[in-house]
Amino acid sequence: MNEGKRIVIAGINTDVGKTVVAAILMEALEGYYWKPVQCGKPCDRDWVSRKISFKNRCYPSVDLSAPCSPHLAAKKEGIRIDAKRLIPPSCPSYLIIEGTGGLLSPLNDIESWADAAALWEAHWILVHRHYLGSLNHFFLTVEAMKHRNLSLLGVVFNGDGDFETEEMLLKKTNTQCLGRLLWQQRLTKAVVKNLAQKWKKAIHAALLLKEI
């Protein structure tokens, strides 16, 4: 499988909307979902399954009970998560991979989530949620991605933000906006499908540019 068939959804921090974006990407690309490490309940995989049009598109993950960093959640259960053992499943379409927490969330006492994902030859989408301090988190995350030579496909902005500030972020990091996720009273299956239709053109265009 070439790198164009794997897309990693990363966030500038935890709880920024990665799971919602992953579901929308699955709809837009008729893809499959994999979250390598799930910490805490409810399970993101179950949420995605309920919000997409397709059945049996979610692969199993390492499920840990504690809602905390992967290294600590694994330690509580007496196990160790090694980056090289997190191997993406093969699938017939795009594999949408959701990260756990922020880019550098530790898997163990040495390796981070990024150390595992850097092995997968994937394109990346970065999710930015607007909050005080998010600009610094955004630039630090992009710097860490550049250091690892990760292929940034584009950015999704979550929440009501300042358009000029968003354009500044894109310009300074030489990337593009793939979609904007405004506040929704209810994130129903229909809403996810509608957003997928709106984002589809930009996502496919970005993928095409990477393949040229």
What is the structure's pLDDT at 208?
87
The model's pLDDT over 146-163, given as tens digits with 9 standing for 90+, comes to 999 999 999 999 998 899
CB–CB of 158/16 below 8 Å?
yes
What SS3 class is residue 22?
helix
Cβ pair 149, 117 in contact under 8 A: no
Asked if pLDDT for residue 11 goes beyond 70, the answer is yes
Four-residue CA torsion sign, 72, 74, 79, 81:
negative
Decide: pTM greater than 0.75.
yes
Tens-place pLDDT, residues 40-69: 998 999 999 999 998 999 999 999 999 999
3-class DSSP assignment, residue 153: strand
pLDDT at 160: 87
For residues 77-89, average pLDDT: 94
User: Tens digits of per-residue pLDDT, 99-148?
Assistant: 998 999 999 999 999 999 999 999 999 999 999 999 999 999 999 999 99
Distances (CA, A) of 182 to 17, 129, 150: 11, 10, 27
Of the listed ranges 89-93, 125-129, 150-154, 206-210, the least confidently predicted one is: 206-210
Domains of the chain listed by start with CATH number: 3-211 (3.40.50.300)
Using pLDDT thresholds of 50, 70 and 90, give the confidence band for residue 16: very high
- Catalytic center residues: 35
The band of 12, judged by pLDDT with boundaries at 50, 70 and 90, is very high
Rounded mean pLDDT of 93-99?
95
Residues in Cβ contact with 26 at an 8 Å cutoff, skipping those fewer than 6 apart:
32, 33, 48, 52, 54, 57, 96, 196
- Per-residue pLDDT, averaged over 30-37, amounts to 96
What pLDDT sits at residue 185? 72
Q: What is the pLDDT of residue 212?
A: 52
Mean pLDDT of the chain: 93
